[in-house]
Amino acid sequence: MSGAAAEDAATGAGEGLEARVRVDRGGFALDVTLSVRAGEVVALMGPSGAGKSTLLGVLAGLTGFGEGEVRLHGRLLDRRAADGSAPRRTAPAARGVVLLGQDPRLFPHLSAHANVAFGLRVHGAAKAAAAAGADGWLRRVGLAGLGERRPAQLSGGQQQRVALARALATSPAAILLDEPLTSLDTETAGDVRALLHQQLAATRTTAVVATHDAVDAVALASRLVVLEGGRVTQTGPVREVLASPATRFAAAVAGLNRVIGTAEPARGPGDERRSEAPASATWRAGGLVLPCPAQPPGQTAAVFRPGDVQIIDGPPREPGEWTARIVRLEQTPAGVRVRTADPDVAVDVAADRAAGLAANDTVALRLDPADVRFVAASEDVSHRLAR
């Protein structure tokens, strides 16, 4: 056994993709620990510039890093230590990892069939076996009968199907998908998304899907990792992260408001003589005041849906009613989203209800306290990372 192989056997972790890496590039630092179980699909979400593509580049062996290591199914791919010891690096072509992005990167002079067969030939398949494999994979991705067409003769969605067939035909140890559906129209993206789900499940391919779209996370992944400012700010099962977002970005992805405020004990006469904690509190953020269950000391996040906030006529009179200044109006598929300040709240209303509203107008709003969930949060993580 070679020294490198012996090291892999002695120190290899369990199956799956394991990475702990730090990348310093100008004023940006990526410092991430990522763990993906064998056969698991993990969604990676974050705002532009968060480091998603940089991380995928590191995993694919295309981007260097300053410190850390990458392992795949117990095999050490890369290592760079801070103590200056000899680094370990595996070339991209020898990793068993495929990176698929927005651009399918098909060979323009080859047919769809030849593009898929090329990948198999590179991995050692005989000509006849590669041709048969390409036929089979084109059928699996719904392109039977289109194998002789060149990429320029295929739609964007069809090109992505060919790229996916070429990637999966070689049975990669892991596949990395970097916003693969962004350039497709909604209907085509939905079709390719369904195909991805079907084929990743059928082949049990370990996968990381970087995306801006919550639909990709829900449809493809079992776990969600949120990356902001080069750091992981939240991770967990997709449903749990979207139901209880830890940052404003995660809340926006989930279609929720997440407002940081302060909860103060609601004490009645004589309560100052009691030693036990009060059973309720009053939560405040700017002009919004809500009753809430007793909270631990520190800041508290109120989580609620934009559709649960209403624009009302007349001045606020009840708890959960307040006035706010409109910052801007945004179009949504179902109407208009009204963005307000102090606190920053999104309000979804029908288009006719938003008629006549404009930036800097003052509106009265109502939120039923029963529609709010409160989560202890000393500080919004995204704000902390920005400093």
The string of DSSP codes covering 320-351 is TEEEEEEEEEEEETTEEEEEEETTTEEEEE-H
Six token digits for residue 292: 């809430």
Please report where in the chains the tokens 């209880």 appear, as a residue: 244
pLDDT of residue 14: 52
pLDDT of residue 295: 72
pLDDT of residue 107: 96
Query: Residue 206 pairs with which residues in a beta bridge?
Result: 174
pLDDT of residue 179: 92
Six token digits for residue 145: 């009968």
Six token digits for residue 8: 């892999």
- For the chain, residues with pLDDT lower than 50 are 1-13, 271, 273-275, 277-278, 379-387
Q: Which long-range contacts (CB under 8 A, 24 or more apart) does 131-135 make?
A: 133/169, 134/165, 134/169
Q: Which residues are CB-contacts of 67 (< 8 A; sequence separation ≥ 6)? A: 21, 22, 80, 81, 82
> What letter represents residue 113's amino acid?
H
Helix axes 127-140, 156-169, angle to 10 degrees: 130
pLDDT of residue 267: 61
Question: Which of these CATH numbers, 3.40.50.1000, 3.40.50.300, 3.30.70.1230, 3.40.50.720, describes 3-243?
Answer: 3.40.50.300
Alpha-carbon span 43 to 179, nearest angstrom: 11
pLDDT of residue 40: 96
Pairing of strands 174-178, 97-100: parallel
- Enumerate the domain spans of the chain: 3-243, 257-269+276-386
Residue 250 vs residues 30, 43, 214, 232, 236: alpha-carbon distances, Å: 19, 13, 10, 11, 12
> What letter represents residue 319's amino acid?
P
Six token digits for residue 347: 């309000």
- Encode pLDDT of 230-289 as tens digits: 999 999 999 999 988 999 899 999 999 999 999 888 665 554 544 454 468 899 999 999
* CA dihedral angle for residue 236, residue 242, residue 243, residue 245, rounded to 10 degrees: 80
Q: Residue 92, preceding bond cis, omega within 30 degrees?
A: no
Alpha-carbon span 323 to 327, nearest angstrom: 13
pLDDT of residue 274: 47
